[in-house]
């Protein structure tokens, strides 16, 4: 009989399920909960039904992420529904691809909707100063600061509880975004209006809909797109009026 620990914000309980052939839950707990390749390797050659997927989600913390996105966002609900962005953490490969598109650059780096802060922390480690994340969810801000403390970077990176739509980007030269497709058209307008010519924007998971990327990295869900603001402005000027 296998025991799988499930978490919800106010309860912790054990689910007992006989003859369920999953990896040891303690092995699952030691994985990177946001890296699908870790989970795929653990489940290689196994058959998992719908109940099994639910238990995996609980065991790896995905259920907690869903609850955070849906319930624990008091500040988030002040943002108009059409501009809200759910929290989906970036995988290790997504972070690496984003950083590869910023290689050789320096200066200020900001992550719009910084989630658990991993992109900001990685940018700081690679020499970007200052490295700033904007996030409305107070729980994710606490998690970000914990990750910074654990990495020895607490107080060196900055996580701010501010609405990304109200942030002034005029002094930002490196911007990263992992946002939902529904808000990207509005984001394009904000970026083009505020960013300096020398700025570069790197989008993960979904590309900016009407901008032509300067370069890309990765494939599938791990793909990232880099956009140079000066090139985008020049392309806009060539468009017929």
Which has the higher per-residue pLDDT, 90 or 46?
90
Answer whether 0.95 is exceeded by the pTM. no
DSSP of 30-76: HS-TT-HHHHHHHTTT----HHHHHHHHHHTTHHHHHHHHHTS-TTG
- Cα(176)–Cα(226) distance, integer angstroms: 9
- pLDDT, tens only, 61-107: 444 444 444 444 444 444 444 445 567 888 999 999 999 999 999 99
Dihedral (CA of 228, 208, 213, 202) sign: positive
User: HEC states along 153-185?
Assistant: CCCCCEEECCCHHHCCCCCCCEEEECCCHHHHH
Residues 6+ away with beta carbon under 8 Å from 33: 60, 61, 62, 89
The alpha carbons of the chain give a radius of gyration, in whole angstroms, of 20
pLDDT of residue 20: 36
DSSP conformation class of 211 = P
- Quote the pLDDT of residue 89: 86
The whole-number average pLDDT for the span 48-63 is 47
> Beta strands 224-228 and 200-204: pairing type?
antiparallel
Least confident of 63-72, 149-158, 162-171, 220-229: 63-72
Tokens of 207: 């590309």
Give the whole-angstrom CA distance, residue 110 versus residue 157.
10
Round to whole Å and give the CA distance between 14 and 53. 16
Q: Which of 233, 226, 158 is nearest to 195 (CA)?
A: 233
Q: What percent of the chain has pLDDT over 90?
A: 60
Per mean pLDDT, which of 39-43, 79-83, 119-123 is the most reliable?
Answer: 119-123
Across the chain, mean pLDDT equals 77
């Amino acid at each position: 009989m296998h025991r799988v620990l499930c978490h919800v914000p106010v309860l912790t309980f054990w689910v007992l399920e006989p003859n369920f052939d999953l990896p040891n839950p303690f092995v699952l707990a030691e994985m990177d909960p946001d890296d699908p390749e870790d989970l795929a390797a653990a489940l290689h050659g196994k058959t998992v039904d719908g109940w099994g997927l639910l238990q995996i989600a609980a065991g790896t913390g995905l259920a907690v992420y869903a609850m955070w996105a849906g319930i624990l966002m008091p500040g988030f609900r002040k943002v108009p529904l059409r501009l809200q962005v759910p929290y989906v953490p970036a995988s290790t490969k997504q972070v690496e691809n984003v950083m590869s598109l910023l290689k050789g650059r320096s200066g200020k780096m900001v992550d719009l909707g910084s989630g658990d802060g991993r992109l900001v922390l990685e940018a700081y480690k690679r020499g970007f100063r200052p490295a700033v994340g904007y996030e409305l969810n107070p729980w994710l801000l606490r998690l970000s600061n914990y990750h910074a403390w654990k990495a020895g970077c607490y107080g060196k990176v900055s996580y701010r509880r501010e609405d990304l739509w109200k942030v002034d980007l005029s002094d930002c030269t490196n911007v990263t975004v992992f946002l939902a497709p529904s808000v990207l058209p509005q984001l394009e307008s904000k970026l083009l209006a505020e960013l300096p010519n020398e700025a570069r924007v790197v989008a993960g998971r979904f590309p900016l809909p009407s901008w032509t990327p300067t370069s890309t990295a990765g494939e599938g869900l791990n793909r990232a797109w880099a956009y140079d603001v000066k090139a985008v402005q020049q392309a806009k000027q060539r468009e017929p009026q």
